A and B are shown apart, each in its own frame.
Chain A
Amino acid sequence: MTSDSKVDAKIQKLNDLLAFKSSEDKLNFKAIAIQLDILAEVDNIMQERKISRKELADKLGKSKSFISQLFSGDKMLNLKMIAQLQEILECKFQPAFKSYSKPSNKINLPNEDFTEKKYKPVPINIFTVQEGK
């Protein structure tokens, strides 16, 4: 086997390993992906409000390393923690199912009479600020 074909074989093996081995394997990954979607939104709000990871950890009653493990998907969020996040961030958690045919991170706008002023992309937020807060 030449050096190039060895590398190609390794790339093929990696591609095979990245495919899901079972529906359980796929569901485990999808659960992490949902968590990462939620925490990306939490991270945005934290940056806007200048809330540090340490502050978040203190308010959740967890360690800073636990927060890191949450944000990397090594530890899983539960609904009670999401309820705590609502309280800490003073935001309402609003889940939404969207069709795969319309990816949530792409907004299709008509090409004709497009102007930035006329069509402002609407941010799709999972957390929304509660009125009166």
Chain B
Amino acid sequence: MLRKCKKLDISKFILDNKEFHNINVELFIDETTYNQILDFLLEVDKNNKPIRIERFRSILNEILNFRYNKDLYDKPKISKKSIDVTIMKFKRHRGMNYRLLCKEFISNGKKIVMIILFDKKTTEISKKQRAKMDSIGGYEYDF
């Protein structure tokens, strides 16, 4: 059964960056996690300053340049099942090392669905994370 997702509007960022005007990439959020992921991206510090926007812009820069980067937007290729699973990497904050698992779909451009947020505790990918990545590798969406 096809999963549902919601399109993330990044038009203002694209508009502000001339080099991306002709790039066909769309971002989506899985409907089961969109509240959690949006709250995470919008989180602010005690001075009400957003803490993740700068990093998210850098991640978008890599995505819109069709690049992978071990420190921002990685494609770990740990198994055949999870070949299209990618990871957005955020800065450590209050001891939490957040990662956002995504799945890429290539067809008439690129579609990326942001799916699960987790706190990376070790340098290695755990068995549980590996299993989750394999499972996400099989997700299909109704775009």
The 26 listed contacts between A and B (C-beta, < 8 Å) are A7-B6, A7-B34, A7-B38, A10-B35, A12-B9, A13-B42, A14-B38, A14-B42, A18-B53, A19-B15, A32-B61, A36-B61, A36-B62, A36-B67, A36-B69, A40-B69, A43-B70, A71-B69, A72-B58, A72-B71, A72-B72, A72-B91, A100-B18, A103-B19, A103-B22, A105-B66
A-B contact count (CB 8 A): 90
Contact yes or no, A7 B57, CB < 8 A:
no
Determine if B96 is an interface residue (Cβ-Cβ < 8 Å).
no
With an 8 Å Cβ cutoff, the count of chain B residues facing the other chain is 39
Contacts of A6-20 to chain B: CB distance below 8 A: 6-7, 10-20
Contact present for A72 and B65 (CB under 8 Å): no
Expressed in whole angstroms, the minimum distance between the Cβ of B15 and any Cβ of chain A is: 8
Of B6, B12, B69, the residue contacting A72 (CB under 8 A) is: B69
Please provide the chain B residues from 88 to 141 with a CB less than 8 Å away from any CB of chain A in the complex.
Answer: 89, 91
Report which of B12, B56, B66, B89 forms a contact with A16, defined as CB distance below 8 A: B12
Q: Which residue of A lies closest to B12 (CB)?
A: A19
Given contacts A71-B71, A73-B58, contact A19 B13 (CB under 8 A): yes
Report the nearest B residue to A30, measured CB to CB: B17
What 0/1 readout, one digit per residue, does chain A (60-83) give for beta carbons within 8 Å of chain B?
000000001001111000000000
User: What's the dominant secondary structure at chain A's contact region?
Assistant: helix
